Amino acid sequence: MQTDPLTNPLTKNVGAENIATDLERYRANGGYRGWQKALQMAPGDIVKTAQDGGLRGRGGAGFNTGLKWSFVPTGDDAPPVKYLVCNADEMEPGTFKDRLLMERDPHLLIEGMAIAAYAIGARTAYIFIRGEYHLATARLERAIDEAKQQGLLGDNIHGSGFSLEIYLHRSAGNYICGEETALLNALEGKRAIPRAKPPFPQVSGLWGRPTVVNNVETLCNVPPLIDLGIDWYRGLGRGEDAGSKLFGVSGKVRKPGTWELPMGTPIHEIIEECAGGMCDGLKLKGFLPGGGSTNFLGPEHLDLPMDYGAIGKAGSRMGTGTIIVVDDRTCPVGLVLNLSRFFARESCGWCTPCRDGLPWVVQLLKRIEYGQGRPRDLELLREQAERMGPGNTFCALAPGAAAPILSGLKLFERDFSEHIARGRCPYVAETEVLEAV
């Protein structure tokens, strides 16, 4: 596919015709211009550019990236050692965007990390990558080697006095590492459990040093922002939020996939025009707007723009921007059960509501799905999910797991009740239920 670098800065190098997995091709397409410009800027000006440009974290939280960088201590009294960590451990259910960037345009991530490290004064950076991403790992290793050979990384880069080493760390695979302090513990060789905050990583992170953790897509936004400027970047968005974004759709649509679109693109455009709409004979019943740990929204929300504020006001989160579509022939109870099984398995076990609450939720959902549910189970399920909500757990894993449960009970209340009233899942034939039993 052909893309315009002025409107599709993230995916200009990912199409079959212009894929840029090697340094020569990447530089021919304008690569490392942002890094060259950054080296002529004061680090504080880069931080301000990211902040004023409106770049928000693309990993799910949506926090202003430049503001996050600004929390790192600077000046004569600042610690001399600082770290930058790229979270490439993409394990959110329904999310598959970062792999595209790492496999098809690895130098974009390396360039973004170089600029971010220079901005915060970090001379060592790590890519914490999902262990199953074998191709992405190989291409990133090659990109790092190529960049070092050309003096874009290493000691005294282009005579600037700034040095940077980037290391690749393959994760053993654990969803809790999406929480930045659990990721830092894992990188230190410890058990992947979240840390108490404060202190926040920007002050005391990896090995007790100031550390910034950014998502892959977030860092890939940095080079074009520095290269083309704030006004250009803010002009990419169609609403309040700046820039472009990788949006994805999975489920029973004609063309599931990932596309780079302006922030604020309406949901119906993403599902209907990019994903080709629902498969023949199916109707949209609901959707998760930003991965498996967000709240369900219904068909009435299809006109909403995909930006942080609009989705938040509707009662959900934009999260990773990857939409999971639910059709009218897929059992929502089974879908919620499947997600809850995942979250229960991935709990680090550090706090009781998550460690014990999630397996109990799975048992309740199994009872309902397999025809053994009781009317009281719906209230028990709701109560248990509420106990796992925000403020009751050590990190956001359990509240994220509770989101599809509580919103599913609300949006698909009739489906949950029918399971109990009929004594079986109404989405499968009675003969299938007997065989399963």
pLDDT tens digits for 83-120?
Answer: 999 999 999 999 999 999 999 999 999 999 999 999 99
Outline where DSSP puts E strands in 263-377. Answer: 284-288, 322-327
C-beta separation of 78 from 204 below 8 A = no
pLDDT at 431: 42
Instruction: Please state, in angstroms and rounded to a whole number, the distance separating the CA atoms of residues 397 and 230.
Output: 34
Please name which of 358, 219, 223, 352 lies closest in space to residue 293, comparing C-alpha atoms: 358
In whole angstroms, how far apart are CA 409 and each of 294, 330, 404? 14, 15, 8
pLDDT tens digit sequence for 296-305: 999 999 999 9
Question: If pLDDT is split at 50, 70 and 90, which confidence band does 429 have?
Answer: low
Give the phi and the psi of residue 8 in degrees, each rounded to 5.
-130, 65
In whole angstroms, how far apart are CA 403 and each of 145, 278, 393? 42, 24, 14
The two three-digit tokens of residue 53, written as one number: 């440009």
Question: If pLDDT is split at 50, 70 and 90, which confidence band does 3 have?
Answer: low
The number of helix segments (H) and strand segments (E) in the chain equals: 19, 8
pLDDT tens digit sequence for 330-353: 999 999 999 999 999 999 999 999
The two three-digit tokens of residue 122, written as one number: 């970090």
Count Cβ neighbours within 10 Å for each residue of 96-121 and write b for 16 or more, e otherwise.
bbbbbbbbbbbbbbbbbbbbbbbbbb
pLDDT at 125: 98
**Which DSSP letter does residue 269 get?**
I
Question: If pLDDT is split at 50, 70 and 90, which confidence band does 436 have?
Answer: very low
Range list of H helices, 289-412: 308-313, 332-346, 352-355, 357-369, 375-387, 397-411
Please tell me the pTM assigned to this model. Answer: 0.94
Give the phi and the psi of residue 342 in degrees, each rounded to 5.
-60, -50
Give the phi and the psi of residue 175 in degrees, each rounded to 5.
-60, -30
Range list of H helices, 174-256: 180-187, 216-228, 230-236
pLDDT tens digit sequence for 165-211: 999 999 987 899 999 999 999 999 999 999 999 999 999 999 999 99
Secondary structure (3-state) at 325: strand
Instruction: Please state, in angstroms and rounded to a whole number, the distance separating the CA atoms of residues 98 and 86.
Output: 11
C-beta separation of 388 from 403 below 8 A = no
C-beta separation of 264 from 303 below 8 A = no
pLDDT tens digit sequence for 20-79: 789 999 999 999 999 999 999 999 999 999 999 999 999 888 999 999 999 999 988 999
Outline where DSSP puts E strands in 225-379. Answer: 244-250, 257-262, 284-288, 322-327
Q: Is the pLDDT of residue 285 over 90?
A: yes
Instruction: Please state, in angstroms and rounded to a whole number, the distance separating the CA atoms of residues 353 and 92.
Output: 20
Tokens 């990419």: give the residue: 236
| End-to-end Cα spacing for the chain | 48
pLDDT tens digit sequence for 370-398: 999 999 999 999 999 999 999 899 999 99
Instruction: Please state, in angstroms and rounded to a whole number, the distance separating the CA atoms of residues 271 and 256.
Output: 9
Which residues on neighbouring strands pair with residue 125, listed in sequence order?
Answer: 84, 166
Domains and CATH numbers, the chain: 23-236 (3.40.50.11540), 244-327 (3.10.20.600), 332-436 (1.20.1440.230)
